[in-house]
Chain A
Amino acid sequence: MKFAPRNAFAGDTGYRLLPLRFRRLPWDESHVLITSMAGDWLIAQHKDLERAVEGKLYYTEPLFAEMEARHLIAADPNHSTLAPLLSQYRTRKSYLEHGPSLHIFVVSLRCHHTCTYCQVSRQPLGNTIFDMSDATAAHAVERLFEWPSPTLTVEFQGGEPLLHFARIRALVEAIEQRNRSEGRTLRFVIASTLHDLTDEQLAFMRDHQFELSTSLDGPEWLHNANRPRPERDSYQRTVEGIERGRKVLGEDSVSALTTLTRRSLEAPHEIIDEYRKLGFHSISLRPLSPYGFARKTEGRNGYPMADFLQFYEVALDHLLAVNREGYFMEETYGRMLLSQLLTPFSHGYVDLRSPTGAGLGAVVYDYDGRVYPSDEARMLASMGDHAFALGRVDESVSAWLDSPAMQRVLSAGVAEALPTCADCAYVPLCGADPIDHYARQGDTIGHRPTSDFCRKQMGLFDLLLQRWEQGTATDQRILEDWALRATRRSIAREAEAA
């Protein structure tokens, strides 16, 4: 005989269970999602999971091989190794290696809008005391280069950052000057309404390869209702800004995101169709956050998370239909969650990290010299709660990391160790958000059965998994495209689809 019989390769036919978590599928309770510690997964019958846990799987049945391949069980140690599982886990957590790469510079709190859901408590146009000073800017640049990340994304925020463009210009020049000896990869982004964008500003942005991120809440009636200006021309000015930005910086250098108020929830199709009309291939559907003026106007603009999830389901189905028509369009948060589900890679999106992305993935340098581990922490501070201020820009990064605020964030920042999260099948793919829990529930650890963060994450993971599992081959391909774009931003493919 040329080959030995099959059982000669099997060794001991027993197996041991590897760390795993499971969740009954809400749409089919006889089945469970089973995830490995590195986030690999499969769907199986609940009774088969029970058999597996009881040690009753036979090595000849397909489920045995599948569970072994997904690192849910390990067969005879003489014939198998755990090295691929360790490698997969390390890949999933690779964002830990370099420290924060997102650095937000708040150059001014001034703004010409009076949005009722403003999360940063903007200031009137003339209040220049809310602008970042020369000394603060100089210290912030010093601190920026104390972080070890080889890639530094510098995002300018406000208020309206264009109202203090001289500071942006000076910061960019100082950062680039310093980078001549540092050799980091730099990326500049402005989060702006894009109103009053001048040719001179655009030329500067073009020379320094800026990306623009703006807010577009949907069609004109909705955008103007959400983002009022005395002239009632916010939509028109934003669209003009988008066009001018695209012309100078390139089509793909301008992105937009939507903040959803209660009235937005009635218009999922209209919002998506507006983005398509304007030539966007990406949309961000963001629920309101409990910060700044948004908290004060919660009664008027707010809604339960269940309403957002219902909206998202309608929006997702419409987006799938748009894609089936041949127009590529993705939802950015869904894309991030799908990339967690369908790829083994880490993308470092700060809301989906465990340990938390606050202070470990992002840092905020506020206009007044205070430093925060996340934009949400700065939003809380603008409401008078400085619980998460790490320190000031004239202190060292090490002092920030040793601060009581950072210790507080870290002590509640590992999702795998949080009550309920610890047993959740989605936890290898999810993140910890202690500051959001503090803002919503007054406690960094939080209470998962009433947590809006958890409702949103679970609701979206379930929805996306269900659409993928029950979808047609075409829908699966669309969702896989989104997932892959999170780790391989394929602009060419987008252009092709257009």
Chain B
Amino acid sequence: MKAIEIVLDGGLFSVDVIACTAHRYTGDYFIEIVSTTSNVLVRLTPKTDSVTSHLLAERFRNDALDERLREQIRAETCELRTTLVRAALQQATPLLTAAGQKQ
């Protein structure tokens, strides 16, 4: 089956962002990612004839922008998330110590 190639600006999209975007397409496509000095090439090959590739490049680019936004959010909040989860669950009783003991 014919592969579809999409080139993205490596200055705008990190390889991680593109890999995350591409992962969402791995149900329907075989994926190849090639990084050069300034661009990233994504090659998507449909797994079966029944896969519809209409507006694939456009969809992929939009998804990559969303993934980039997620990366921004992650960068700003990741540490805080860990701190908050730890603080919130500090009061929970760990099951391993509770099990086997009468209340």
Contacts and interface: CB of A to CB of B under 8 A. Distances in A.
Chain A complexes with chain B: yes
B26 interface: yes
B101 A86 contact: no
A148 B98 contact: yes
B96 A420 contact: no
Interface stretch (B4-12, B38-46, B84-92): B84-92
User: Which of A86, A396, A447 lies at the interface centre, i.e. has the most chain B CB atoms within 10 A of its CB?
Assistant: A86
Interface in A445-480: 447, 449-450
B23 A397 contact: no
B81 A148 contact: no
Contacts, number: 93
Contacts of B24: 420, 449
Given A17-B77, A37-B84, A85-B84, A146 B70 contact: no
A90 B84 CA distance: 10
A459 to B, nearest CB: 14
Interface in B68-103: 69-70, 72-73, 76-78, 80-81, 84-85, 87-89, 91-93, 95-96, 98-103
Given A37-B85, A49-B69, A97 B92 contact: yes
A449 B23 contact: yes
Contacts of A420: 23-24
B96 A401 contact: yes
B100 A398 contact: yes
What is the interface residue range for chain A against chain B? 35 or more
B69 A397 contact: no
Nearest to B26: A449
Given A96-B89, A419-B23, A450-B26, 6 more contacts: A19-B78, A89-B85, A99-B98, A182-B102, A401-B99, A447-B27
Interface of B: 20, 23-28, 66, 69-70, 72-73, 76-78, 80-81, 84-85, 87-89, 91-93, 95-96, 98-103
Interface of A: 16-22, 24, 37, 49-50, 53, 82, 85-87, 89-90, 93, 96-99, 145-148, 150, 182, 360, 396-398, 401, 419-420, 423, 447, 449-450
Q: Which 7 A-B pairs have the closest CB atoms?
A: A449-B27, A19-B81, A89-B88, A19-B77, A86-B88, A148-B98, A450-B27
